[in-house]
Structure 1
Amino acid sequence: MKTQYIDLIQYLSSSKHWISSQSLADNYGVSKRTIKSYIGEINQIHHGLILSSNKGYKIDTDQVNTFLTTKQKSIPKTQSERMAYILKKLVQTNQPIYIYDLSEALFISESTLRVDLKLIKEKLSKNNLELSLVKDHISLQGKEKDKRKLMSSILYEEANGSFIDIDKIKRFYQELNVDYIRKVVVETFSSHHFFTNDFYLTNMIIHITIALDRMKHDFQFLNKTVNYNMDNTAYLIAKEIAFKLESYFHVQYSEEEIADLAILISCNGTNINFTQIEVSDLEQIAGKDCIDLVSEIASDLDKYYYISIADADFITRFSLHVKNLLMRLKNHHSTKNPLTNTIKRECPLIYDCAVHASHVIKEKTGHRISDDEIAYLAFHLGYAIELQRQTNVKISCTVLFPLYYNMNVQMINKLQQYFGDDISIHSIVTDESDLNYATSDFIISSVQLHKIPEVPYVVITPFFIENDREKVSNRIFELKEQKKKNQFKLHLESFLDERHFCHSTAKSGKEDVLRFICHTMNQDGYTNEDFFTKIMEREAMSSTAFGQVALPHAIKMESSKTGMFIYLNPNGIKWDHSTVKIVLLITVSGEDRKIFRDVFDALATILTEDKHVNLLSSLDHFDDFINQLIACWE
């Protein structure tokens, strides 16, 4: 609604009496005919809002408060809200938009609008679209497919990193029955025994909803030059979905629209139930190239991160995911992931492994993988990493159990059954005095001890009931955490150097900081001259920043020496789309690759908390920083 209309409504609502058209005309400096035209258009938009009689005009008090409250809420207030509003307007019309009408509708000055338009122009260029400005009129130039991608990205941005459920899509497209769209997709998939997950299903519903909205407004997707790669099942599913939606929404799906939907379906699901296939069947299902690629990813993760991928269920799921990913890459499709930023911030090690996997895929296929797709790889790799992380640190223990028939054997069997991946039983003793010679990390005793041991211990019953199992589990967890913290401290002491510490408050950017650090590490014999190039190659794949911290490193850990450069700036360093206060650049020699994983994981755990980052970045002495870093971990 135009600004002058809202002003007129507010003016009328300020009076309880009838106001003549002449008084309104005099107040606004226009003719009585113009006032009548304004009121006619207002009542067309909101029927009966302004009452008329031979006395003049008066507002309907029952409607006006609701109208003004709703209108106030709907007016974009922040720059990001205004940009989303303008982009929607541009996409929804082929007609040029007058910028002065736009500034009035948004209640902003022309100069503020032009600043917004400059940012919009930059955003559109990243989406292969162009903002045209001719004689104070703006319009959107580009392909229909790219405009639809833009609408999808706006929807995900408005979700602000949360999972997009059906209700969010319904609020965005109120004119369309999104529940019906979902019902059609789910039922059609089910009838064809086609499997997908909730994330991909949501992406498909968004795609279909945007397509229907565009078709209803006569924006057709035509791209006859594209050579689609799809399987026949996906095409049959797409054709069936299109047929049902055509009759319900009164649209016409072109052959190109059906083909585009088919390729989306084939890239985001499968008619294979992974629970019913064996690893030996994977090559036939996914293809030799895909299986070779998965094997190379597994080999690299083992080599550089000491993560062994051997779980059969994981290999099956991951192979099917990579198969669909390769299909998306070949067809230039990318699937949005609402949790990308969360995964980068909360699970940096898992995300870093996924980046490495994406590097292997890029080397083999030539395709660069988006952050969203990397986050989907992280979904799968996270399962394997967490599984291995739990079994990586074993705790040695001594078991005290007096001889009584074979009950001690039963006890050991139960301990092995429940905690075989977590503990290593060094010795079994029958007398408390034997504990004096024990060298293990902790003691499990089935009898009360007369003397408190020097190492941690837990007392259980001879029957090893549920409560005993919980007590042992809690103690193992505490000891494993403490062991990791002790290892972290030893690792830091082994490769940190006071020369590699810098505290600055000067304004700086990512590239300048990295050049300075890489030059210093090269001069001190830690890296080769091309190390800066390797660091920037890794940054180009996906930023190493998470939250207010960056942990830059090369893709392959092949430095001359293992070390870490600490660069602090409490005022912040511009790092792509982020601002970081702490930069910890890590160099790793081949023999210390396992250290990298453990140190990276520990640093990520400490530095995901902003309070730790703010405290550590303010410290300007090396020893203070290291002591506080260890204190944060403990």
Structure 2
Amino acid sequence: MQEKELKILNYLKDQTSCVTASSIADDLGFSIRSVKTYISNINTNYPNLIFSSRKGYFIQDKERLANILNNFTNNDIPQSSKSRQAYILKLLLLQQQTKNLDELADELCISPVTLMNEISKIKAELKNFDLVFKTKNNCVYIEGLEKNKKKMISHLIYNEIKENFISLDLLQTYFQNLDLKVIKEVVTERLLANHYFINDFSLINFILHLAITMQRSLENLTTPEVLDSLNNVHITETVSKLLREICDDLKKYFPVHFTDNEFYNLALILTTSIVNENITQLEYPQLNDIIGPKICNLMELIQNKMKDSLYINLNNPDFMIRFSLHLYNMLVRLENNINLRNPQLLTIKNTYPYIYDVSVFIANIITEETDYVISEDEIAYIALHIGVLIEEQKALRNKVKVIVLCPRYYSTHLKLVKKIHAIFENDVILSGVITTPDELKNFSDYDLVISTIHVNICLTVPMIVISNYFDNKDISIIANEIEKIKKARLRTILEKKLKFIFKRELFFYNPGFSNKEDAINYLSNALNKFGYVDSSFQERIYERERISPSAYLNIAIPHPLEMSAFSTAIAVSIHPTPINWNQNKVNVVFMLAINEEDRILFRDIFDFVTEIISNKKYFQTLLKTKTYEDFINLLITSV
């Protein structure tokens, strides 16, 4: 399979509906003709994999696609420099201690000179894990502590799978001598028996660490190491008992052993990942004795800063309990330098940029209080917790208030209301149920009337008529009207604000930036020049970028952590040819300068920017918008 065919498959696996050849060509930089040719080739080799219709292309059997991608990734000879490096590292770390250089070059179908170039790059990467690449008698091997080798293996595997479906089947391809489903069954059964809860991501992480330890035990590659007493965390007897049971069960299926050091490290990972089910049933004040005053004080600080700076209320009992326990486990991980990878990092960051940005804000609070640097993986775990609460609040705020008008006929009106509520529970609030039009005068606060009869009255809000049968056509009518009302709300808000926050002097089309630094320096200087921010604004932008880059797919939204602009404004630069922003290619930059008095606008601005850019057709039009007037008009009509 060609590399470009593989790119098309990886692109299609993330799509939830049909996409045209034109859209694929635009996003991947291919010609439309090439896209059709590549898809034809793929379907020749894998019949009916890609479904084709007038609406475009779609892959229905995602599991089949995942297997094809996995097999291709693991069976073919590595073609790129990065894939060759990963192959060499996995070979030396997972499978054997030494490898002959000539044999290695033959396996990779490359010259000895090319192999030495790859080894040179590998040596630089190994330094990050305190490992050393050694050569002796024309054979190569890696020297270093066992715990560092395991970290390197974990890093390699996550780097390879982060763009694919994270699943046990995908991890299984790296461990041919182990049945990961058996390992998962053993772990989950023991957790259940001991009344412990672990989320799916943490479970995958733990299984990966278990598998790496067991694989190296099978290959006799482990070496005894002295426990590091400097960071020695007390492992409770209940966790030790739980892990002993897991290890004893695993020994029944696999000829493995666990050293004291390996047992301790696995126990530490368990300690920072599991939660006793009985604890989650407690009231928040009862947690004080378990999590300690340090976490309680940190939670109170996060609550206050979130409310004061972002107008977000975290005072939800269930959230407080779950997030306090997460903070407790996270600090133990940070204290002991345990890296918990998040396979959904890119998905979370690119799909929910506002929630991720709020999580960056929380991570910075934690860093200021503890001096620990929070990784992007940990920030994404914070986002999983914070996202549920924020989305619930957002849904409540965005709900449409509905009056249902349905003449009384036995219990017909009650059945209809029940159906509407069941289907549109997340979108509407039922403000009232009436049986005659006259009763409408008793209500003043509603957005929509849903009626089963035609009524000749004038209303200031929309009224839609549906049948008593409430079929699919009626459901579609209601859904479309709800969407119209929500968009009209947003349009009303934004039309008043667009010219207020987007300034003519801060709009730049194709300004010639070559990278992220050019964009940040130029736009922040422009904001400073026109009096919107002070001279420290640029450095505060870079402080935020150091925590986590502000690029989301092909847009960037740089801004400081605090809202301290003299007055609110957004500087915009549009780049038909994308610029480099860390690992992303960015076409549009929105630099936010928000005054504290306008902090309530922050979410609306963030949501608006990300929503309009997510529309591919609109985005292509935006890239051709050369003047401020056309830019503002396009923003208004896009809503």
1:288 aligns with: 293
The answer to whether structure 1 residue 520 and structure 2 residue 526 are counterparts is: yes
Work out whether residues 344 and 351 of structure 1, in 8 Å CA contact, stay in contact via their aligned partners in 2.
Answer: yes
Q: Which stretch of structure 1 is more off in the superposition, 468-477 or 413-422?
A: 413-422
The answer to whether structure 1 residue 508 and structure 2 residue 510 are counterparts is: no
1:330 aligns with: 335
C-alpha deviation, 1:272, in angstroms: 3.1
C-alpha deviation, 1:147, in angstroms: 1.4
2:118 aligns with: 116
2:192 aligns with: 190
TM, length-normalised to structure 2? 0.78
Work out whether residues 398 and 438 of structure 1, in 8 Å CA contact, stay in contact via their aligned partners in 2.
Answer: no
Per-residue CA deviation, residues 524-580 of structure 1 (Å, 9 max, x unaligned), is: 111111111111111111111111111111111121111111112222211112221
C-alpha deviation, 1:479, in angstroms: 0.9
C-alpha deviation, 1:234, in angstroms: 1.4
Separation of aligned partners in 2, 1:483 and 1:532 = 34
Over 3 Å counting, the alpha-carbon distance change for 1:499 and 1:142 in structure 2 is farther
Q: 1:314 aligns with which of 295, 319, 327?
A: 319
**What one-letter code is carried by the residue in structure 2 that aligns with 1:482?**
A
C-alpha deviation, 1:92, in angstroms: 4.2
Separation of aligned partners in 1, 2:352 and 2:73 = 41
1:59 aligns with: none
2:223 aligns with: 220
Work out whether residues 134 and 142 of structure 2, in 8 Å CA contact, stay in contact via their aligned partners in 1.
Answer: yes
SS at match of 2:223: coil
1:179 aligns with: 181
1:56 aligns with: none
Work out whether residues 100 and 139 of structure 2, in 8 Å CA contact, stay in contact via their aligned partners in 1.
Answer: yes
Within a 5 Å distance, the mapping from 1:98-113 to structure 2 comes to 99-113=101-115
C-alpha deviation, 1:292, in angstroms: 2.4
Over 3 Å counting, the alpha-carbon distance change for 1:103 and 1:465 in structure 2 is closer
The answer to whether structure 1 residue 622 and structure 2 residue 628 are counterparts is: yes
2:57 aligns with: none
Separation of aligned partners in 1, 2:554 and 2:76 = 33
SS at match of 1:172: coil
C-alpha deviation, 1:349, in angstroms: 0.7
Over 3 Å counting, the alpha-carbon distance change for 1:471 and 1:121 in structure 2 is same
C-alpha deviation, 1:439, in angstroms: 9.6
Separation of aligned partners in 1, 2:93 and 2:440 = 79
Work out whether residues 337 and 373 of structure 1, in 8 Å CA contact, stay in contact via their aligned partners in 2.
Answer: yes
Work out whether residues 407 and 434 of structure 2, in 8 Å CA contact, stay in contact via their aligned partners in 1.
Answer: no
Separation of aligned partners in 1, 2:106 and 2:116 = 13
Separation of aligned partners in 2, 1:179 and 1:399 = 51
Over 3 Å counting, the alpha-carbon distance change for 1:284 and 1:477 in structure 2 is farther
The answer to whether structure 1 residue 606 and structure 2 residue 612 are counterparts is: yes
SS at match of 1:161: coil
Over 3 Å counting, the alpha-carbon distance change for 1:485 and 1:426 in structure 2 is farther
The answer to whether structure 1 residue 553 and structure 2 residue 556 are counterparts is: no
Per-residue CA deviation, residues 416-471 of structure 1 (Å, 9 max, x unaligned), is: 99989955969999767998x98975445564222675642134689999998996
Separation of aligned partners in 1, 2:252 and 2:492 = 67
1:489 aligns with: 495
**What one-letter code is carried by the residue in structure 2 that aligns with 1:594?**
I
Separation of aligned partners in 2, 1:371 and 1:514 = 21
Per-residue CA deviation, residues 345-367 of structure 1 (Å, 9 max, x unaligned), is: 11101111111111111111111
**What one-letter code is carried by the residue in structure 2 that aligns with 1:299?**
N
Separation of aligned partners in 1, 2:623 and 2:131 = 40
C-alpha deviation, 1:102, in angstroms: 2.8
1:362 aligns with: 367
Q: 1:152 aligns with which of 142, 145, 154?
A: 154
Q: Which stretch of structure 1 is more off in the superposition, 587-596 or 489-498?
A: 489-498
Q: Which stretch of structure 1 is more off in the superposition, 189-198 or 474-483?
A: 474-483
Which structure is larger by alpha-carbon Rg, 1 or 2? 1
Structure 1 unmatched runs, 5+: 1-68
The answer to whether structure 1 residue 340 and structure 2 residue 345 are counterparts is: yes
C-alpha deviation, 1:101, in angstroms: 3.8
Q: Which stretch of structure 1 is more off in the superposition, 236-245 or 352-361?
A: 236-245
C-alpha deviation, 1:400, in angstroms: 7.3
Within a 5 Å distance, the mapping from 1:375-390 to structure 2 comes to 375-390=380-395
SS at match of 2:275: coil
C-alpha deviation, 1:180, in angstroms: 2.9
C-alpha deviation, 1:98, in angstroms: 5.1
C-alpha deviation, 1:342, in angstroms: 0.7
**What one-letter code is carried by the residue in structure 2 that aligns with 1:314?**
F
Q: Which stretch of structure 1 is more off in the superposition, 259-268 or 617-626?
A: 617-626
Separation of aligned partners in 2, 1:259 and 1:373 = 22
Separation of aligned partners in 1, 2:252 and 2:403 = 73
Number of residue pairs the alignment of both structures matches = 564
The answer to whether structure 1 residue 373 and structure 2 residue 373 are counterparts is: no
Separation of aligned partners in 2, 1:131 and 1:186 = 38
Per-residue CA deviation, residues 36-93 of structure 1 (Å, 9 max, x unaligned), is: xxxxxxxxxxxxxxxxxxxxxxxxxxxxxxxxx9999442223332121011123247
2:78 aligns with: 76
Work out whether residues 548 and 579 of structure 1, in 8 Å CA contact, stay in contact via their aligned partners in 2.
Answer: yes
Separation of aligned partners in 2, 1:165 and 1:368 = 28
Separation of aligned partners in 2, 1:427 and 1:72 = 60
Within a 5 Å distance, the mapping from 1:206-217 to structure 2 comes to 206-216=208-218, 217=220
Structure 2 unmatched runs, 5+: 1-70
SS at match of 1:565: strand
Percent of residue pairs identical? 31
Work out whether residues 280 and 322 of structure 2, in 8 Å CA contact, stay in contact via their aligned partners in 1.
Answer: no
Work out whether residues 188 and 241 of structure 1, in 8 Å CA contact, stay in contact via their aligned partners in 2.
Answer: yes
The answer to whether structure 1 residue 255 and structure 2 residue 263 are counterparts is: no
Separation of aligned partners in 1, 2:202 and 2:280 = 19
Per-residue CA deviation, residues 307-359 of structure 1 (Å, 9 max, x unaligned), is: 22233222222222222112211221121111100111111011111111111
Per-residue CA deviation, residues 363-414 of structure 1 (Å, 9 max, x unaligned), is: 111111111111111111111111111122465678879999xx99999999
Per-residue CA deviation, residues 598-627 of structure 1 (Å, 9 max, x unaligned), is: 110121122235554444234322222333
Work out whether residues 355 and 387 of structure 2, in 8 Å CA contact, stay in contact via their aligned partners in 1.
Answer: yes
Separation of aligned partners in 2, 1:204 and 1:438 = 55
Over 3 Å counting, the alpha-carbon distance change for 1:492 and 1:449 in structure 2 is same
SS at match of 2:196: coil
Over 3 Å counting, the alpha-carbon distance change for 1:462 and 1:88 in structure 2 is closer
**What one-letter code is carried by the residue in structure 2 that aligns with 1:569?**
H
Separation of aligned partners in 1, 2:83 and 2:414 = 68
Within a 5 Å distance, the mapping from 1:426-575 to structure 2 comes to 441-444=447-450, 447-450=453-456, 455-459=461-465, 475-504=481-510, 506=512, 508-575=514-581
SS at match of 1:586: strand
2:33 aligns with: none
Separation of aligned partners in 1, 2:631 and 2:225 = 59
SS at match of 2:182: helix
Q: Which stretch of structure 1 is more off in the superposition, 318-327 or 618-627?
A: 618-627
Work out whether residues 152 and 207 of structure 1, in 8 Å CA contact, stay in contact via their aligned partners in 2.
Answer: yes
